[in-house]
Amino acid sequence: MGLSKVRLVELPKVTDAGASLTFVEGSRHLPFTIRRVYYLYDIQDGVHRGGHAHKDHEELILAVHGSFDVRLDDGKGSITHHLDQPNVGIFFPTFVWHELTNFSPGTVCLVLASHCYDHEDYFREYSEFLAAVKHKRS
C-alpha cells in the first residue's frame, strides 16, 4: 500500500531526424487504462499544486517541459522526486497525498489518470486523509 507502489516510469524515447518522440500505452506502460488527461501550464512563481489524495484513482505525472518536485505521502512517510525529463514520470496509486512545488519557468506538467474527474474521489484536507488511512489499515 502507499509508497511501496510508487515508481518512476521511463517511457520510450525515439529520436530520429533531429526530434524526439515519447508515447504512452496504458496497458503497456501503466497499470491502468487512461481515462483522463490534463496538463498544467502558465504556472506562476511560488505556486503549489495538488495538495490532495484520491480514494479510487491512480496517476502518472510527467514534466513534459521544465521541471518541478513531487512530494508523495502515504500517512506513514513521504518521498520527494524531482521531475525534469519529458519521458520519465512518477506513478502513484490511491491513498497517496501529493503536492507539486518548485516549478521552473515555462513548465508544462502532464497528468494521466485512471478515472474521470469526480469531486467525491478527493481527500482535500490532510487530517481527513490521515483518518481514512488509519481506518483503512485497521
Cell 497517496 found at: 96
Q: How far is CA 13 from the centre of its chain?
A: 20
Which CATH number is 113's domain given?
2.60.120.10
Neighbour count for residue 61 (Cβ, 10 Å): 24
What DSSP string describes 24-58? --HHHHSSS---EEEEE-SPPTT--EEEEEESS--
Q: Please, what are the averages of pLDDT over each run of 10 residues along the chain (138 residues)?
A: 90 94 90 95 96 96 98 97 98 97 98 96 97 87
Distances (CA, A) of 119 to 17, 21, 97, 122: 44, 34, 16, 6
In the set 48, 52, 65, 81, the catalytic residue is 52
Please report the pLDDT score of residue 1 as a whole number: 61
Range of the domain at 124: 2-137
Taking the model in full, what pTM does it have? 0.92
Residue 89: strand, helix, or coil:
strand
What domain count does the chain have?
A: 1
Pairing of β 19-22 and β 36-40: unpaired
Annotated active-site residue 52? The verdict is yes
Length of the chain: 138
